[in-house]
Structure 1
Amino acid sequence: MKLNCVAIDDEPLALDLLSKFIEQTSFLNLIGKFSNGVEALGFINQNEVQLIFMDIQMPDLSGMELARVLDGKKNSDKTRIIFATAYHQFAIEGYKVEALDYLLKPYSYEEFLNAATKAFSYFERLNSSTTTITATQETSTPEYIFLKVEYQLVKVMLKDIACVEAYKDYVKVHLLSKPNPLLSLTSLKNMEELLPSSHFMRVHRSFIVALDHIDSVSKNVIQVGNHSIAVGDNYKDAFLEFLGKWMN
């Protein structure tokens, strides 16, 4: 699946950078770029656009005004916004119009990719929920995520993840299918947001475990394959609640 995107920014250099980031991301498809919101709105009304990356402070029609117009339209959940702006004071307003994320200029490709991946997961869930659900189907969850590993995006199947470990400025993603973990430049907090809570749980400040792959639990220590992971004090209550359901 590719997401149709538009980029909107009245600053030419910022618009070029935003367009470049979109074009180098494999699951995004740039179908338009605009220097003002009025022109962009006309295009969005005539085309199928899933994701809008845009600045907030622009002449004629600001990004926030455009967001409010789109929010009032039918099926507004099928067109989502990621703001890219130099003004952090607009963050609260951004969340009021249900922006998916908020990039503060100057932002890196890593930050852009984290926001784009969040959008991809959102549309995966949206597409799953609109598909006819049979009585035997489980609650729909995304089947995979994309992680930045060195200089490429790697598709990782969720069912292959045993646990995720914080490692300095990176995370180690331990897979069932590979002897060595994937090393990705992102945070454990971001991984916690990407991974569906129905199948993954943070049990320590340095670990997220796949609930389906827990082999045993003893004295607040979880065994996942060859990994023995202690349950941190701040995570015990949530894990004990899960464990109570597991034992019933």
Structure 2
Amino acid sequence: MKIRCIAVDDEPLALDLISNFIERTSFLSLEAKFDNAIEALGHLNQHEIDLVFLDIQMPDLSGMELARIIDGKRNPATPRIIFTTAYNQFAVEGYKVDALDYLLKPFSYEEFLKASTKAYRFFDQQKRQNTEKIGQEVNSDYIFLKVEYQLVKVMLQEITHIEAYKDYVKVYLINKKNPLLSLTSMKNMEELLPKEKFMRVHRSFIINLDHIDSVARNIIHIGEHQIAVSDNYKDAFANFLGKWLG
């Protein structure tokens, strides 16, 4: 598997170094290099690229601004980003745009290779996931969730409920003390989960209907958790209760 890359850096020496590192790495393919983010964006709009090695501090359009544009167009073909910068204060911002890694200048080829290998593993897992989707359409017993920098297979029957948490969701599982924290939205989770098994009962909660222990005054009890049914979802939940009670 070859990962199609571009390098973006306004410093000629840094751009040459990262380009050389890419060309030295057997599983990377350098498709183009740019000394400004505007030209890089034009290339990304016209070509399929997997991975962008991106400097942050650049004139006109910064690397972080380009990353936000890329992240705003998120779809299965959206390229991923490894930041290359001399400033460590952008690490949190890099995580918000779902960057795969963050290389702090000056970095060695060993450090570059470590970050690139992480990217290779990500794309390999993504490829495996896409391959399994055909089978998953027939067998919807599980889903894959992005947890940190890996894809985690989660059995549907093990999910008790899901809670919104800032830009993430918390996925609570049977016999697991701590929930999985995944960078996705409640809307995406609704679309991913089978509607006959899962129901949104609040802006911040989706529940597994099979794991309801009891319901009292629009409060759902699942194990030690109490989840309120909000006004926007009361009618749909009442319809479910009518069928549930027979």
Report TM bin, short chain.
Answer: 0.5 to 0.7
Q: Deviations over 1:183-224 (max 9, x none)?
A: xxxxxxxxxx999999xxxxxxxxxxxxxxxxxxxxxxxxxx
1:9 is matched with which residue?
Answer: 9
Q: Is the 8 A contact 2:36 2:59 kept in 1?
A: yes
Q: Deviations over 1:26-76 (max 9, x none)?
A: 000000000000000000110010000010000111000000000011416
1:148 is matched with which residue?
Answer: none
Task: Describe how 1:136-215 pairs up with structure 2 within 5 A.
Answer: none
Task: Describe how 1:58-73 pairs up with structure 2 within 5 A.
Answer: 58-73=58-73
TM-score by length of 2: 0.55
**Structure 2 counterpart of 1:62, one-letter code:** S
Q: CA deviation at 1:134?
A: 3.0
2:135 is matched with which residue?
Answer: 134
2:160 is matched with which residue?
Answer: none
Distance 1:195 1:35 in 2: 31
Task: Describe how 1:43-82 pairs up with structure 2 within 5 A.
Answer: 43-75=43-75, 78-82=78-82
2:52 match: secondary structure: strand
Structure 1 gap ranges (5+):
142-192, 199-237, 239-248
The alignment of Structure 1 onto Structure 2 pairs a total of residues equal to: 149
95-104 or 74-83, larger mean C-alpha shift: 74-83
Q: CA deviation at 1:15?
A: 0.2
- Cα distance change of structure 1 residues 100 and 12 upon mapping to structure 2, 3 Å threshold: same
Q: Is the 8 A contact 2:122 2:149 kept in 1?
A: no
Q: Is the 8 A contact 2:48 2:77 kept in 1?
A: no
Q: Which has the larger radius of gyration?
A: 2
- Cα distance change of structure 1 residues 29 and 62 upon mapping to structure 2, 3 Å threshold: same
- Cα distance change of structure 1 residues 50 and 58 upon mapping to structure 2, 3 Å threshold: same
Structure 2 gap ranges (5+):
154-176, 178-246
TM-score by length of 1: 0.54
Distance 1:197 1:73 in 2: 23
Distance 1:5 1:194 in 2: 19
Task: Describe how 1:102-141 pairs up with structure 2 within 5 A.
Answer: 102-132=102-132, 133-134=134-135
Q: CA deviation at 1:104?
A: 0.2
**Structure 1 counterpart of 2:118, one-letter code:** K
Distance 2:152 2:49 in 1: 28
The runs of at least 4 aligned residues of structure 1 exceeding 6 Å deviation read 193-198
Sequence identity, in percent?
61
**Structure 1 counterpart of 2:51, one-letter code:** L
- Cα distance change of structure 1 residues 140 and 118 upon mapping to structure 2, 3 Å threshold: farther
Q: Is the 8 A contact 2:125 2:151 kept in 1?
A: no
